[in-house]
Amino acid sequence: MDLLKILQLTLGLLSVPDHTDQSPVPSGNGQRCEEILPNIYISCKMRNLSSIPADIPSFIEILDFSFNHLEYLDDNVFPHLPHLFSLDLTRCHIRFIGSNSFEKMKNLTTLILTGNPIEQYESEAFSSLQRLQRLVVVDTNLSSLENLPLIPLTHLQELNAGTNNIEFFQIPPYVFNFTNFRLLDLHCNKIAFIAVSDTIALRETPNKNLTLILSRNQISHIEPGAFQGIHLKELHLRTAFVLSGAIKSCLKAMAGLTVDKLIIGNYRGANKIQTSEVDFLDGLCLFEFQEIYLLLKESTARGGDIFQCLTNASKISVVSSHLKQVKVPQFRRLKELQLKKNDFSYIPAAELSYQSTIETLKITDNKPQTYFYKPFIEMTALKYLEISRSHLSIQECCSKQFSYLPQLKYLNLSFNSELRLEGTAFTGLEQLETLDLQHTKVTQIGVLSSLSNLRNLKYLDICYTNTDFFVEHALSGLISLKVLRVSGNVFRGNTSTYLFRVLQNLEELDISNCGLGHLHPSTFTGLDKLKHLTVTNNKIREVEFLTHPSLGALKTIHIGTNNIITIPQHTLDRLPKNLTALDLSQNPIECTCAYAGFIKWTIENKAKLTDQNRILCQGPVDSRNTKVTEFDVNYCRHMSTIIITLTLGVVLLIFFLTLFVYKYQFYIRYACILLRGYRSTKMGECAYDAFVIYSSRDELWVMDELVENLENGVPPLQLCLHVRDFEVGKSITSNIIDEGILNSRKAIVVISQYFIESAWCKFEFEMAQSWLFLEGNLGIIVIILEDVEDDKMNRVLGLHKYVKNNTYLKWKKNPLSSMRFWTRLRKAVMSGKNTA
């Protein structure tokens, strides 16, 4: 490091310069900043940077520079960022903020300095931040608000100075001149004492819109009159007092305060407030408030007489107070009462009865098993009643308990133990518009029409109520119903097909997780207004039902987690036209080219598909868990080309094969026959002496001469002639083999011009030739009936060679020659007969 740099460092002109000799773009350890919203929001969080990267565009609006290293801020640290409105410098080890540090970002509205060990602010540190609305100096070693150079921040609305070391409630008076100032957060400081002199400014410059947070301080004393005449919007006093004993005296000392919303109580683990000391809230009788939130974690409540000083409140929330019972005064203007996380063993309905101002009552998260003994009576304004998550059991619900509430529109009994509905469960509750019984065991809904008189009901939630729908009219009478949720129940037989038809005004239906394997399209008959349908988590394979004409108005469909492999084209073509969102996630979709049409549809309709990252291929194996919308449909196009080419090839092959077979049919048949003959080579005694192979055109000669001379001579020879001896009905080739060749000792071939021309003879002859050759028996006798040209014989049959090597006889018509001819022929046929 050169001398100049060291000098600059000591002068605080440079930020810690370890990497400034490189380009500052990927400064620090080289990690780049991340663009969270293009051109708007850049995050350099935890990049170990020691300066602002130079490549940050000047037009960005939000910069998160938290968890880096800056230490010294001055007018050189930040580049020109004229549009920046939010700068987060959380935990950047800043110790010093010099004058005009934020000069180049005049439009800053939010500055976060949380977690910096700031030792000094120069008096002009914030001088260019006239537009700043929100300053966060949480956990910055601040010991007094007067150390902050806030004067220029005339537009400041929120100052968050929690988790510091502030001991005195001294607020610079000019802060109250900031016209929009509305939040002063001093939580988790060390304020112990508030004097009348500390609040002069608050009194003199009234700001009825101010929220003051003093929670988690250690206030032990408030000078009486300190809050006299002050009007605050909100005051937070949770665990604000050093001892629970101090609450009582401090609240009394706050007499004369007016506050719209008071939040009081303690945090878990903080000092306990003994609600058994029923008078700890007595001071509240001395000041005015509209809403009160009592959050009494870990208190040991007994009396429940906590409402004594709350009679003028309009909204009361008592949370975690472990009340076992309540004493309720006559409230004057209470509109909303919430009792959350208490220990009631029964619903305090009798105690709350006759309160005619309460419109909203919520009793939730009650700990032990809760019962209902007495009904609510004469709560004439009550519209909204929620008793949920409270281990509630009611034996004869619900008329008995709630029918004296003439205005009741909303009843929420969800997440309880058990409700036993009577036959006429809701008589007197006809005005109900919302009924939520989800996750509570409800008996009888599926068996009786217990809901039938709720003709104004618009919203019904009976999910997971352990309901078995046995009867088709279980939902009859609900003519106004718009939203129905029945997931997690069971439909017996085909009740689901008929159950919903009465609900002509239904807009939203949820039948997820009902174990449905199939939905008949007519399930939706008459539901012409249905816009949202959820059937997730069933076992549905086919979505044909989506094409039912009544579903034309559907906009969103959830059929995730079913057994859908694909959706056929004719269904896709008829999906509701106004569909904007389709959830198909977690189905076992088959990504094969056979279903390419469906996959192509998903790609083309991506905009409509929700949760695309979970629409995955289940098969085939090599595509498993890839996104369906990323499937390469072109691959299928290639595949189909390949398949077409292959098919064409096979067809051609078959064609040529057929041609080949046709052309060489004899040779092929011959080969087959040879094989067959060879297999049955062991045969019995021959039935014929000779098998005659001849052309049918030579039949006259064969019949008149050959048969005459050989069969009628002495000894008579037995000839096999195909015209005479072949069995009827047997194929000719079989006959040749069985009767002719295999059953004859010799073959006589009659060669003539006709024979040479006849393919059939050629075949018979070749077969005989080969057979005899296989047998090693020279049993062929050739008769040349008329002269045939040598080369013809040669060309056509290869007979020439054969004829040369074997006995052959030439027929001559003159008597002498023919005499000799017959003798020789007879001899040739007879030869070997007795040796066999």
Ligand X SMILES: *[C@@H]1O[C@H](CO)[C@@H](O)[C@H](O)[C@H]1NC(C)=O
Interface with ligand X (CB under 6 A):
18, 28-29, 48, 50, 180, 182, 209, 285, 309, 311-312, 364, 386, 388-389, 412, 414-415, 434, 436, 461, 552-553, 578
Strand arrangement, sheet containing 72-73: 72-73, 96-97, 120-121
750/765 Cα distance (integer angstroms)? 10
Query: Between 461 and 590, whose beta carbon lies closer to ligand X?
Result: 461
**Nearest distance from residue 9's CB to ligand X, in Å?**
13
620 preceded by cis ω (within 30°)?
A: yes
Query: Between 15 and 513, whose beta carbon lies closer to ligand X?
Result: 15
Query: Per DSSP, what are the bridge partners of residue 810?
Result: 784
655/661 Cα distance (integer angstroms)? 10
**Nearest distance from residue 636's CB to ligand X, in Å?**
33
**Nearest distance from residue 255's CB to ligand X, in Å?**
11
**Nearest distance from residue 464's CB to ligand X, in Å?**
12
Token pair listed for 414: 């969800």
Query: Between 458 and 746, whose beta carbon lies closer to ligand X?
Result: 458
Query: Between 254 and 616, whose beta carbon lies closer to ligand X?
Result: 254
Burial 472-491 (b: 16+ CB within 10 A, else e): bebbebbebbbbbbbbbbbb
**Nearest distance from residue 345's CB to ligand X, in Å?**
21
- Strand 410-412 to 384-388 pairing: parallel
**Nearest distance from residue 656's CB to ligand X, in Å?**
58
Query: Between 223 and 365, whose beta carbon lies closer to ligand X?
Result: 365
**Nearest distance from residue 157's CB to ligand X, in Å?**
8
Query: Between 239 and 440, whose beta carbon lies closer to ligand X?
Result: 440
**Nearest distance from residue 436's CB to ligand X, in Å?**
4
Token pair listed for 385: 């009643």
Contacts of 751 (CB under 8 A, 6+ apart): 782, 783, 784, 785, 788, 793, 799, 803
Token pair listed for 190: 């060390």
**Nearest distance from residue 585's CB to ligand X, in Å?**
24
Q: How many helices and strands (H and E) does the chain possess?
A: 19, 43
**Nearest distance from residue 185's CB to ligand X, in Å?**
12
**Nearest distance from residue 83's CB to ligand X, in Å?**
24
Query: Between 509 and 596, whose beta carbon lies closer to ligand X?
Result: 509
Residue 527 DSSP label: -
Query: Between 577 and 813, whose beta carbon lies closer to ligand X?
Result: 577
Query: Between 182 and 409, whose beta carbon lies closer to ligand X?
Result: 182
Query: Between 570 and 577, whose beta carbon lies closer to ligand X?
Result: 577
Query: Between 130 and 209, whose beta carbon lies closer to ligand X?
Result: 209
Of 317, 326, 268, the C-alpha closest to 292 is: 317
Read off the amino acid at residue 545: F
Phi, psi of 495 (to 5 degrees): -55, -35
Query: Per DSSP, what are the bridge partners of residue 339?
Result: 318, 363
Contacts of 750 (CB under 8 A, 6+ apart): 692, 693, 694, 695, 698, 701, 702, 706, 783, 785
Phi, psi of 135 (to 5 degrees): -120, 125
Name the helix (H) or strand (E) containing 193.
strand 193-194
343/656 Cα distance (integer angstroms)? 92
Burial 534-543 (b: 16+ CB within 10 A, else e): bbbbbebebb
Query: Between 28 and 779, whose beta carbon lies closer to ligand X?
Result: 28
Angle ∠(643,647,653) on CA atoms, nearest 5: 145
**Nearest distance from residue 67's CB to ligand X, in Å?**
10
